[in-house]
Structure 1
């Protein structure tokens, strides 16, 4: 073999060693329902948590059901309106929400199947809440400006807008809480949200002050390593998790289905296609990014498994709600570094927590 050929072979293997395309192999995958599309709405919180509840029903009963995402959305819009008016407009109003809002909605209003309430006037139309959200907010701003006493029909007008865009409420056919518990073996009080921040005491239960937490939901605070360990433990035991995460990073690619944190800034583009070293994430760095608004609660998804690339790097398989045309057939592979830095929180069944964590949290 001549020197030129040896040099070419050496270069070939060198390039393949340091610039490998992603090739994912499943470590753990838990059965979930099909990927759906939230389309032109800011309702990922309902799509992710509804998918999570559907996976819980599969886990507890073996049955696959298609729950209505928009039933939760419609009901939470009413709760948001009451909150906005009672706070005299001194709060955020919009399409966003958090995982616990779906749990609250199910507890308060029950749930319905997708076949009972689609949230559309025309079944063939895509979801699009852009005009509806504007009209709803206009009513609320008018209510606050004039006071409810001078605008006594504000809620009737508000609900009329919901009816116009989403259809009338499906309350005549809800699955009430009792039926939900008995038929699907789901106890809504069994779900907890865990997180990791340094501005609150470890193992404390606190209200996280983020814009979409209009309902003042509680979060359990863990050390960062224990936060990750509990996610891994839950998946290993067959529990999925609903995740609230920042996706504003250029290294979160919905189209490519990759979410990573490069060690070097200059690798930000290449790392979406090729395996590159990732940054080590500390609690202090995570906290700084959160306090600087570089980590925000802008998208919610559903963790259903784990995978590894050909170098052994581990990723979480995350079900998105941007349709199957997005990412890897609708899924995103999120690295451990990305989740450690950018995951605001996860919602899970308390039995998916490690025993020592459950004890520390008194659950």
Structure 2
């Protein structure tokens, strides 16, 4: 009995020590968020191993638009949009004899174009992602390894005249990996075509505008943002950075979401659900790193340092000049699309956008990222928003 008592006391002591150790490991700098405004969104999705953030984020945007306007929740089909979009993109590549890029990427305009011209179907009207090739989620590796050389072989052909059969062959590849787009389907007891279903969603496809902010084109006019995945060349309204940010704030505070496209390759974007416009020099100083040591660190190690600083991460205040310089030297890229749907503050009063990602329930916040306003201002390539969410004075200047 005495031996058992001693062992019990030792176990209790060990548990207490472990608890104290864990308590000591708690990051006191971890942000504690208070929601300022949170708009309704649909469920978190997972694009998995596919370059379709543009598809997932923009359909999430339209799902939120429908939810706001009608109160109805839809799960729109990303595979339908991908099937139609990749065929259109291939046609353009062939038309230009391969002198443009064929890739998985796209822009927020592509789903809008699809909805307007081809319609849409609900998720369950096509095979679930990855199911046709024995996967539980998207995996475009084999798919694009087959499709890209096929398209480029046609585009670079030395034939004097092409037949139309290359399209039938490509459609076969698209349908084999994504599923055939239905001509008719039943949803909640009613029969639809993709176009009639899109018309039934209760939103006006003329209500949407794309916004950007650069100085190599005049402000208050539209231009096609010069990035490869903006291959349809739709116009974005070019406005000063401060007004660009005013639109996002006004949209969120008035119940709208924003289909955001920008750069998440920066050190301040962590896999744990946070994004800061990090002042690298100050971070080095706070973490005891010099430049030489910092450059040798892996991205994971840098992110761990940034995570440890949490809400005390020093940030660079972006300027219009910085945005332009980073765009011109290829630092500011359009590598990801996400959905801005809310605003929150940390314990120090710093404001963050609440952003829905398409990587499943990843990170500390189960698929949601908290991205500071400085990060968004610095790293926005462009975004889509409902025209009615734009402040009246900006709409008046744009004439929309």
Question: Alpha-carbon deviation of 1:125?
Answer: 2.5
User: Structure 1's 94 and 264: CA in aligned 2 closer, same or farther, altered over 3 A?
Assistant: closer
Instruction: Report the more deviating stretch, 327-336 or 35-44.
Output: 327-336
Unaligned stretches of 5+ residues in structure 1: 1-17
Give 2:275's aligned residue.
Answer: 259
* 2:15 aligned partner: none
Per the alignment, residue 198 of structure 2 pairs with 180
Q: Secondary structure of the equivalent of 1:104?
A: helix
The secondary structure found in structure 1 opposite 2:156 is helix
Gaps of 5+ in 2: 1-26, 186-191, 284-301
Q: Deviations over 1:131-177 (max 9, x none)?
A: 11121111111112324835542111111111211122223336544
Q: Equivalent residue for 2:327?
A: 290
* 8 Å contact kept, 1:260–1:334: yes
Partner of 1:168: 180
What's the counterpart of residue 215 of structure 2? 198
1:158 matched to 2:170? The reply is yes
How has the CA–CA distance of structure 1 residues 215 and 333 changed in structure 2, closer, same or farther, with 3 Å as cutoff? Answer: same
What TM-score do you get using the length of structure 1 for normalisation? 0.90
What corresponds to 2:230 in structure 1? Answer: 213
Task: Say if 2:50 is the partner of 1:34.
Answer: no
| Residue 359, structure 1, aligned to residue 359, structure 2 | no
Q: Secondary structure at the match of 1:184?
A: coil
Q: Structure 1 residue 230: deviation in Å?
A: 0.7
Shift of 1:122: 5.9
Contact 1:25 1:309 in 2 (8 A): yes
Residues 327 and 104 of structure 1: is their aligned pair in 2 closer, same or farther, counting only changes over 3 Å?
farther
> Which of these two proteins has the greater Rg computed from alpha carbons?
2
CA shift for structure 1 position 338: 0.6
Q: CA RMSD for the aligned pairs?
A: 1.8
Evaluate the alpha carbon distance shift between residue 278 and residue 166 of structure 1 in structure 2; reply closer, same or farther with a 3 A threshold.
same
1:70 — aligned with what? 79
Would you say the 8 A contact 2:341–2:356 is kept in 1? yes
SS of the residue 1:21 aligns to: coil
* Range moving further from structure 2, 115-124 or 314-323: 115-124
Match of 1:236 among 237, 253, 263: 253
- Please, what TM-score do these two structures have when normalized by structure 2? 0.82
CA change 1:199–1:264 in 2 (3 A) is same
Contact 1:143 1:151 in 2 (8 A): no
Whole-Å separation in 2 of the counterparts to 1:231 and 1:95 = 27
Match of 2:360 in 1: 323
> Is 1:135 aligned with 2:146?
yes
Q: Distance in 1 between matches of 2:64 and 2:233?
A: 26
Per the alignment, in what secondary structure is the counterpart of residue 125 of structure 2?
coil
Give how far 1:129 is off. 1.0
Do the aligned partners of residues 166 and 354 (structure 1) sit closer, same or farther apart at CA in structure 2, a change above 3 Å counting? same
User: Which residue number corresponds to residue 91 of structure 2?
Assistant: 82
Task: Tell me the CA shift for residue 73 of structure 1.
Answer: 0.7
